[in-house]
Amino acid sequence: MPEPLDVLLSLCAADALGAATEFKSPDVIQARYGAAFRAYQPGSVFGFAPGEATDDSQMVVATLLGAARGEGHAGVLAAFREWLAAAPPDVGGLTRQALRLTFTEPQRLDGGALAWERGGFDGAGNGGLMRVAAAWLLGHRGAALAREAAVLTALTHADPRCVYASVFLTAFMEALADGQAYAAAAQAALGVMDSLDARDVLVEAGVLGLHTQDAHRAFRGREREARAQVRARVRSGLDGTVTSQSGYVLDTLEAAVAHARRADWWACVEPAVLGGDDSDTVACVVGAVVGARGLSTPPELLPELRLGHSWPGWDRGWIATQHLPNVLARAARSVAGTTSSP
C-alpha cells in the first residue's frame, strides 16, 4: 500500500515538470528542450520557476489545508478562497467564478452549480479532476471516497462529466493502491462510478438545492450520458489513445489513463510533459495514478520541489518534502476525527 505522502509528492513533482511545457506544442517543446524531459526546466508561461508546482498541486494542498479546519466542505471552500485571494499566477476561469459567486455567503456550497448554470451548462473543464486526489489522500475509502470525490469536484465543477470522471479517478487510485492490476482496477473503478447516485450525493451535501434547480434538472438529464462518456474514454485510454491534452475533463482523463499504464514513473510522466497543451494538469493526474500504483518519484526531483504560490498556510519558498508531511498529517487527523465522531 503506497503512503499518501508519496502519492502527494508524486503528483506535485509531475505537475512541476509539466509547468514548463504547458500551452506549448510538442514540436516547440522538442525544439526547446530536446526529446527527453527529465529535470525541472524554465519556460513556464505563468512564470513558475523550475521546481515550482502549479495551481493543480496548489489546490490539492489547499483542499488539505481546508480539511484540517474541521469545518467540512465549507472549510475547504474557505481555503480555496484564501488561495484565490492571494492572486495565484494561474487559476481556471470556472474555478474563479464558482468561488466568487458565493463569496459573501461562505456557508453556501453551490457556487459550482451556479457557475455551471451561468455558463449555459457547457463548462466541463479539468479543474475538479486535477485536485480530487485529495479525497484519497485524506483517507476516504470505499463508498465514502466516491461521495467525497463527487462533492469536492462539484464545489467548482458541477457538470456530471466532471463529477463522474473524479469518482472514477479516486476509485481507480484506491483499486491500484490495493494492488489490483491496471485494467482490472479501471474496471472496478468504473463499477464504483456506475453504482453512485451522484445527484443524490450532491443534493444531500447542499451543492444542488433550492437556488440551483436548473442545474439539478440539467444534471439529472445528462448524468447517464456522462457516465457513458467517462466509460468510453477510460477504455480508449487503456488502449493507449490520447485524443488531446486539452483542458476538457475527458481529454485529461483519457490521456492520464493512457500515460499512467507504463512500466515506471518516468515512462508514465515524461510523455504527458512532452505532450504539451494542458501538460501540467495531465502530468499531475498521471502523478497521482502512478503514485497510487506505488511507483516512486525519482529522488533527484524532490530537493527542489516547491509550490509556486504563497497563501495562508503555505509559503512559496517552502521545500515540499519539509512541509507537506505536516500539512497532510493535520488534514488526515482532522478528517479521521470527524468521521469517527458519533
Backbone angles phi, psi at 163, to 5 degrees: -65, -50
Task: Give CA–CA dist 248/128, Å, rounded.
Answer: 11
Helix (H, G, I), strand (E, B) or coil at 209: coil
Q: What three-state secondary structure class fits 262? A: coil
55 labelled ligand-binding? yes
Contact 123, 249 (CB under 8 A): no
Q: Residue 221 class from Cβ within 10 Å (0-12 exposed, 13-18 middle, 19+ buried)?
A: exposed
* Run of H or E including 84: helix 72-85
Contacts of 337 (CB under 8 A, 6+ apart): 70
DSSP 299-336: GGGSTT-EES--BTTB-TTS-HHHHHHHHHHHHHHHHH
SS3 278: coil
Phi, psi angles (nearest 5°) of residue 241: -75, 135
15 labelled as ligand-binding? no
State yes or no: 54 annotated in a binding site.
Answer: yes
Please name which of 177, 170, 162 lies closest in space to residue 192, comparing C-alpha atoms.
Answer: 170
Is 170 annotated as ligand-binding? no
Of 121, 129, 43, residue with least CA distance to 92? 129
**Residues with Cβ within 8 Å of residue 229, at least 6 apart in sequence:** 161, 250
Question: Is 280 annotated as a binding-site member?
Answer: yes
Judge whether 278 is annotated as a binding position. yes
Binding residues are 54-56, 278, 280-281
Binding residues for Mg(2+) are 54-56, 278, 280-281
